[in-house]
Amino acid sequence: MNVKNKEIVCFGEVLWDVLPTQSIAGGAPMNVARHFERLGMDVTLVSRVGSDQKGVKLTNFLNKSGLNTEFVQVDDHLPTSEVLVKLDEHNTATYEIVEPVAWDNIKLHDNLVKKVVKSGIFVYGTLAARSEESRKTLKELLKYNNLKVMDINLRPPFDTEEIVKEFLAKADIAKLNIEELDQIAKWDGFISMDEDDRIKKLYEQFGIDLLIVTYGADGAKVFDGKQIYHHPGYKVKTADSVGAGDAFLSGFMYKMLNNSSVEEALDYASATGALVASRDGATPDYTFEDIEEIKKMKK
């Protein structure tokens, strides 16, 4: 993969996932950043927390995790974000996202621009673009010459067609799940195509270099413009699905940035996602050896 360096910036929401039994630090960009850090990558998180106790606690957590929090801003007016997470009988998560919160107000400043200009990879999603201020900042940061990786993360009611398409058009690599693929296909009138044709249509429509579609426990597909690669997924006992897709993306990019093939990266990503799904929370402790143990399992 042709990038100017392996420095990664992850932009977007940081928050507390309020589960039935406990609160866990989360947010897709933070989860992705933590998995990158665990895989030994140079990663910086860009977000915003409140000046409240929850914000102090979250910043302390991020520092202890080894993340660079220089660009985690503090808001004196808006609160630190909380998301109410509900798990169904299959331990599949749904989310109620409170607003407005601190990460709706991520500000642009010179040092942040310099950091993004210097980086080789910029990772972002759609959720942080729900508010005017953070959306404006994100638009500015997407102007620079680095590899742009979009994790779509449609979260109703913050899944505006216009915004999703605007930011998808800026992506070099995009990851979404099958439900999100179908949502975009409905918007654009190609939902009647068979699944692989929907993948190819989305790829072509937005000029993406690599399109990744995940299917939860049923694996994932990657289209590179020539071939659709399919992985059936590693079968594990699911503890909860929170953060599994974030781990998948980090595992995929980790291998691609280390000159692996798409097929190798897909396999590694599938193992990393399965490992996280088998443990509680979005960013459980694990090692490279744990990922290799998953890869020994039957697909």
Q: What pLDDT, on a 0 to 100 scale, did the predictor assign at position 85?
A: 78
Residue 3 falls inside a structural domain: no
The residues near 51 (Cβ < 8 Å, ≥ 6 apart) are 74, 75, 76
Residue 186 falls inside a structural domain: yes
Residue 195 falls inside a structural domain: yes
Residue 2 falls inside a structural domain: no
The residues near 228 (Cβ < 8 Å, ≥ 6 apart) are 196, 199, 200, 221, 222
Residues in the chain: 299
Give me the residue label for tokens 């692996």: 260
Mean pLDDT, consecutive 10-residue stretches, the chain (299 aa), reads 94 90 89 95 97 97 92 98 84 81 98 98 96 98 97 89 96 97 96 97 97 94 98 89 90 97 98 92 88 87
Q: What pLDDT, on a 0 to 100 scale, did the predictor assign at position 155?
A: 85
Which phi and psi (to 5°) does residue 297 adopt? Answer: -75, 160
Q: What pLDDT, on a 0 to 100 scale, did the predictor assign at position 284?
A: 86
CA distance to 76, 116, 134, 255, 265, per residue, from 119 (Å): 29, 5, 20, 18, 22
| Number of domains composing the chain | 1
Residue 1 falls inside a structural domain: no
Q: What is the pLDDT of residues 205-240, one digit of tens each?
A: 999 999 999 998 899 999 999 999 999 999 998 887
Q: What pLDDT, on a 0 to 100 scale, did the predictor assign at position 21?
A: 83
Q: What pLDDT, on a 0 to 100 scale, did the predictor assign at position 299?
A: 60
Q: What pLDDT, on a 0 to 100 scale, did the predictor assign at position 194?
A: 96
Residue 280 falls inside a structural domain: yes
What pTM was computed for the model? 0.94
Strands 15-18 and 81-87: parallel
The CATH number given to whatever domain includes residue 184 is 3.40.1190.20
Residue 104 falls inside a structural domain: yes
**What is the domain range of residue 48?**
8-295
Residue 38 falls inside a structural domain: yes
